[in-house]
Amino acid sequence: MTSVKKKAVFLDRDGTINVEKDYLCRVEDFEFIPGAPEAIRRLKDAGFLVIVVTNQSGVARRFFGVDDVERLHQHMQSELRRFGTGVDRFYICPHHPTEGRGEWLKDCLCRKGRPGMLLDAERDYDIDFSQSFMVGDKPADIEAGQAAGCRSLLVLTGYGASCAESEELSAIPKFADLGQAADYILSR
């Protein structure tokens, strides 16, 4: 008997789910982009795993620690519960190839645009990338999804509007926000 592979929506965090704030690490600074919690709930209700994959080079730069990132994710989960939903798993890349210090100075496979975090999730959850999506606001998000074999979507929140017209993203579907991206995913 073969197991049925799962479908997932991989989400960038800053600028996709929550308002972009440089090196966000404080719970009191966290703010959802309007409609993001409802979009996550609709995706989960449709049977998708919702997995956050986020570069957190602030750890590498020693602006904050991994514990601060985890505390922020716990807060985010608590806030999502108010909307009757939550994220299935958070994967973080705490590294930076040139600006990191100590153990965090690393040219790793997990930093987006590489697919390391998505590949880790695939192993952990038996994900079918051909039935999955990556949604983000930067070229690195799109590249990571494509490298893993997901369909990549750009949202125009966060940095999305400033990079939407770039040639490298010309063929990528673009949406005003996560809510519209979820509408697209759910119509497939």
pLDDT band, very low/low/confident/very high, at 3 (cuts 50, 70, 90): confident
Instruction: Round to whole Å and give the CA distance between 153 and 141.
Output: 9
Please report the pLDDT score of residue 80 as a whole number.
Answer: 98
Give the pTM.
0.96
Instruction: Round to whole Å and give the CA distance between 50 and 139.
Output: 20
Tokens of 129: 């990338």
Q: Strand, coil or helix: what is 76?
A: helix
Please report the pLDDT score of residue 4 as a whole number.
Answer: 86
Give me the half-sphere count of Cα atoms (radius 13 Å) on the Cβ side of residue 22.
Answer: 2
Write the pLDDT tens digit of every residue in 21-59. 999 999 999 999 999 999 999 999 999 999 999 999 999
Write the pLDDT tens digit of every residue in 108-154. 999 999 999 999 999 999 999 999 999 999 999 999 999 999 999 99
Domains of the chain plus CATH, in order, are 8-186 (3.40.50.1000)
Distances (CA, A) of 98 to 2, 60, 108, 138: 44, 9, 11, 19
Catalytic annotation, residues: 12, 14
Instruction: Round to whole Å and give the CA distance between 5 and 13.
Output: 24
Write the pLDDT tens digit of every residue in 160-173. 999 999 998 999 99
